Structure 1
Amino acid sequence: MAISRVFLTPLIVACALFMENMDATVIATSLPAMALDMGENPIALKLAMTSYLVGLAVFIPISGWMADRFGARTVFRTAIGVFMFGSILCGISHTLAEFVASRFFQGMGGAMMVPVGRLVILRTVSKADLVKALSYLTIPALIGPVIGPPLGGFITTYFHWRWIFFINIPISIFGIYLANRFIPNLREEGTVPLDWIGFILSAVGCSCLMFGLASAGRHLVESDVSLIYVVIGSLSFAAYVWHAFHCEHPLLNLRLLSIPTLRMNIYGGSLFRIGIGALPFLLPLLFQLGFGLSPFQSGLLTCVSSIGAMFVKTITTYVLKRFGFRNVLIYNTLFGAASMAAFGALTAETPHIIVGALLLLGGCIRSMQFTSINAIAYADIKPYQMSQATSLTSVAQQLAIGMGVTVGGYVLQVSNRMQGHATIVSSDFWPTFITIAIIAAMALPFAWKLRPDAGEEMTGRRAS
């Protein structure tokens, strides 16, 4: 019985996490081929990436309430089914509008899968075995981004991009089977009522604002329609902020932003994530459209950064204990921004060994930064605030990454038009990398404001 709880439960959740992580990296490598098939500008495919992230941001906050209300097993297996059906819809899409809608639907399933799965682990595994169980869960999170780009590139180069979505079908069926067999249908009694008004306001705000910004440049809708969406989204967000401070149990508790360490995660972390979030969209376009590489070659290059990320995870705890959160976040923000700007200096003649080294270094920096930002968020959070803090940070993370794709795509489009190029060429990219590097560097003041002893209880370090 102990084996089934400590090993089988994380394995089941890992099926969902593997699909979600691999799917996010697979699609980026295949964007130019998708755009060609759909007769669209490759930059327009940023809508496909942002729509998925918006689906996550909208539905993640209610995943815990859904599990408590309807049962963890019911919600978890339904979420896998929704993700699988969304994958099928993506695979049979023929227009950009169909593909964007399918990705949003797929994001609805992804928003429920992993948070509910983590909840099952936390409630079924004893504290003594929790670290071991969560370590099993993190394995697919590390493997997915490594094999995703080359797998997507291989399928796109030698088969067809549609198959990258169909491979989710057998994994989903296996996950549903295991969930039916081994996951208990846990419920929580006495849950607070769902903040329906907050959910509607945040959903409209996220969806309209991100769609309006991502469609700027006459992608899918005209510019005036995009502006209308931006206005509606902004007003909905403003209404939610007012609502959140006047509601007893808000969907996203904005009062937590009074905690400095969490504020660093939300504000500073989001700025850095905007810069990093643009890279999975920009790099495959640079390598394929700018340098003329095949999707498979592009995937092999981009997966190098994930290898660097895996390596750094093994030394992050030591680095944080040695130097402290504040110092790591200050210097790593500068290094991260510099590595983003450096991509703008790459040309088709740059040796692949240098490109790979830059990607490896960037992956190391990104991993260190994300681990530090994610950890510092909970440094001063009380146990009863943990669920609310998790929802707030998860939504901010998805929106920031989506905003990175949006900003990167928009600046690339402006650069392309200002330089008068009929198609996307390598010289269009350097202004984009400089822009996202500047945005990432804007996280520096938030790191600077941290106390020298911030998060010391988490690392066991005592600040001098």
Structure 2
Amino acid sequence: MEEHNKLQPEFRVLVLLASIGFFMQALDTTIIFTALPAIAESLNENPLDIHGVVIGYVLAVAGGIPLSGWLADKFGLRNTYFAAILIFTAASLGCGFSHNLNQLIGFRILQGFGGALLMPVARLSLLKIVPRTQFVSAISTMNISGLIGPLIGPALGGWIVKSTTWHWVFWVNVPIGLIGLFFTLKVMPNIIEEKVKPFDLSGFILLLITMVGIVLGIEMASSPEFSTSLIISLLVASICAALTYAYHAHLHEQALFRADLFKNRLFTIGILGNLFARLGGNSLPFLLPLMLQIGFGIEPLMAGLMMTPLVLGSLFSKPITRPIIQSLGYRRFLIINSVLVGLCIASFSLTSIETPIWFRALHFFIFGILNSLQFVAMNSLTLSELSAQQASSGNSFLSIIMMLSMSVGIALAGTLLNVFMDVYAHSASIDAFHSTLLCLGAINIITAFIFSKISNRSE
């Protein structure tokens, strides 16, 4: 039986192809963090003001997720996956050739849209082609590539900046993408669904307005270039779009995410918890390399290597997550762990240039464990009581919330950082970083209140 479940040779190339897309998307999310100061210097920008390069990418990923499954069903797996890799690769080339910040952000948004299609369509191709008996093995193999990307991304970004120029942080995707394009044409069948329901374009636009309005409103809050009325208008438009979508989801059968999805109490609590509890954890891979380089004067390669224990901590947590949750129950575990993650985020404010490397590595490792435990517990709680009919829609909405939370978290971290820079009159950048970390840690601790609403029967 075990031999029967192993991945057969005829499916290995397809799994390798899916892994290429997964790897490209996972790598590109993290490789840029250590390169931001070098990019800012090259483009004559303040390194604290270019987080739009990250936010634009992540927000585009969030926005493109609802489209991925529909495009694959409508135009076929091979055509959609080929287009995804082509867009991602061409946009990566454009990022490297950008001469100013606006060009770079524009190509990053295009790159993010390609990235939004890569992972869902790769997973869908395995689901539709690989036999059920070998599906778990195929997904596990593909997931390894998704872990390698974040593991090597920060250090690779630092090494590229030190050895060549920041442009290669994006151009490294080009040869990988060309290989992916070749194999897509060779091995992936173009499976098209006969009946595809109409795409909910109006709901999609409302969701985009909601996400873009929130993120832009927060990002603009610390910039004197934008008026208070514009910022308030964006946030109000975002709230109005969200309320309109709630009404739309209640009335329309073809809505992307039906209103009855949120009648499930655990799903609603899990979504709210994911949104707020990820703000700090998702912003730290952006914030910490900046603090190490700008605040402590550590070179990019070393700053990238210092982020590796964070990913190793995440890997270490995988086998212990289920036993801990089973022992404590979701409610107790998420309350305790939310506080621990918040305290750990805040404790980064106690570090200084004199902090020994071994202690910093241990600190990052512990945070990686706690953060991964939090994410896995929140995800499994959110989806735990959904019906088979709701599972796909619920999982897609959760994926959007995860990306939205990352965008908001980085925008919030950048805004807080700029506000505290003004408070300290740019004379104490370390204090600005430390104050930002304290605020983000406090948000995570407060999030424990959301998880306290989990009923005891879910223990």
TM-score by length of 1: 0.93
Between the aligned partners of 2:119 and 2:436, the Cα distance in structure 1 is: 32
Structure 1 residues 446, 205: CA separation in 2 closer, same or farther (over 3 Å shift)? closer
Tell me what 1:457 maps to: none
Tell me what 1:382 maps to: 387
Is the 2:334–2:451 Cα contact (8 Å) retained in structure 1? yes
Amino acid of the residue matched to residue 432 of structure 2? D
Between the aligned partners of 2:224 and 2:303, the Cα distance in structure 1 is: 25
Is the 1:195–1:250 Cα contact (8 Å) retained in structure 2? yes
Structure 1 residues 379, 399: CA separation in 2 closer, same or farther (over 3 Å shift)? same
Tell me what 1:131 maps to: 136
Tell me what 1:3 maps to: 8
Tell me what 1:24 maps to: 29
Post-superposition shift, 1:242?
2.1
Between the aligned partners of 2:257 and 2:32, the Cα distance in structure 1 is: 30
Between the aligned partners of 1:218 and 1:173, the Cα distance in structure 2 is: 40
Post-superposition shift, 1:432?
0.6
Q: Does the residue aligned with 1:314 lie in a helix, a strand or coil? A: helix
Amino acid of the residue matched to residue 61 of structure 1? P
Tell me what 1:245 maps to: 250
The answer to whether structure 1 residue 104 and structure 2 residue 109 are counterparts is: yes
Structure 1 residues 232, 451: CA separation in 2 closer, same or farther (over 3 Å shift)? closer
Between the aligned partners of 1:223 and 1:300, the Cα distance in structure 2 is: 40
Q: Does the residue aligned with 2:352 lie in a helix, a strand or coil? A: coil
Tell me what 2:3 maps to: none
Is the 2:349–2:433 Cα contact (8 Å) retained in structure 1? yes
| Residue 73 (structure 1) aligned to one of 71, 78, 83 | 78
Is the 1:76–1:113 Cα contact (8 Å) retained in structure 2? yes
1:203-243, Cα deviation, whole Å (9 max, x unpaired)? 23322432232233338866655444444333333322222
Structure 1 residues 22, 220: CA separation in 2 closer, same or farther (over 3 Å shift)? farther
The alignment's C-alpha RMSD in Å is 1.9
Post-superposition shift, 1:187?
2.0
The answer to whether structure 1 residue 207 and structure 2 residue 201 are counterparts is: no
| Residue 343 (structure 1) aligned to one of 335, 348, 352 | 348
Amino acid of the residue matched to residue 286 of structure 1? M
Post-superposition shift, 1:400?
0.6
The gaps in structure 1 that reach 5 residues or longer are 455-462
Tell me what 1:159 maps to: 164
1:305-331, Cα deviation, whole Å (9 max, x unpaired)? 001111111222332333332332222
Is the deviation greater in 199-208 or in 103-112?
Answer: 199-208
Is the 1:47–1:211 Cα contact (8 Å) retained in structure 2? no
Between the aligned partners of 2:199 and 2:320, the Cα distance in structure 1 is: 41
Is the 2:331–2:456 Cα contact (8 Å) retained in structure 1? yes
Q: Taking every aligned residue pair, what percent have the same amino acid on both sides?
A: 31
| Residue 362 (structure 1) aligned to one of 357, 364, 367 | 367
Amino acid of the residue matched to residue 151 of structure 2? V
Between the aligned partners of 1:54 and 1:4, the Cα distance in structure 2 is: 37
Tell me what 1:404 maps to: 409
Structure 1 residues 186, 11: CA separation in 2 closer, same or farther (over 3 Å shift)? same
Between the aligned partners of 1:9 and 1:366, the Cα distance in structure 2 is: 32
Amino acid of the residue matched to residue 447 of structure 1? F
Is the 1:7–1:136 Cα contact (8 Å) retained in structure 2? no
Is the 1:47–1:215 Cα contact (8 Å) retained in structure 2? no
Is the 1:5–1:124 Cα contact (8 Å) retained in structure 2? no
The gaps in structure 2 that reach 5 residues or longer are 1-5
Structure 1 residues 219, 7: CA separation in 2 closer, same or farther (over 3 Å shift)? farther
Amino acid of the residue matched to residue 217 of structure 1? S
Between the aligned partners of 2:289 and 2:380, the Cα distance in structure 1 is: 30
Amino acid of the residue matched to residue 64 of structure 1? G
Structure 1 residues 263, 190: CA separation in 2 closer, same or farther (over 3 Å shift)? same
Tell me what 1:433 maps to: 437
Tell me what 1:442 maps to: 446
Between the aligned partners of 1:348 and 1:447, the Cα distance in structure 2 is: 36
5 Å-filtered alignment, 1:172-191, equals 172-191=177-196
Amino acid of the residue matched to residue 452 of structure 2? W
1:66-124, Cα deviation, whole Å (9 max, x unpaired)? 11111111101100110111111111112111111111111110111110111111111
| Residue 115 (structure 1) aligned to one of 92, 116, 120 | 120
Tell me what 2:396 maps to: 391
Tell me what 1:458 maps to: none
Structure 1 residues 231, 95: CA separation in 2 closer, same or farther (over 3 Å shift)? farther
Between the aligned partners of 2:326 and 2:138, the Cα distance in structure 1 is: 24
Is the 2:222–2:416 Cα contact (8 Å) retained in structure 1? no
Between the aligned partners of 1:219 and 1:118, the Cα distance in structure 2 is: 44
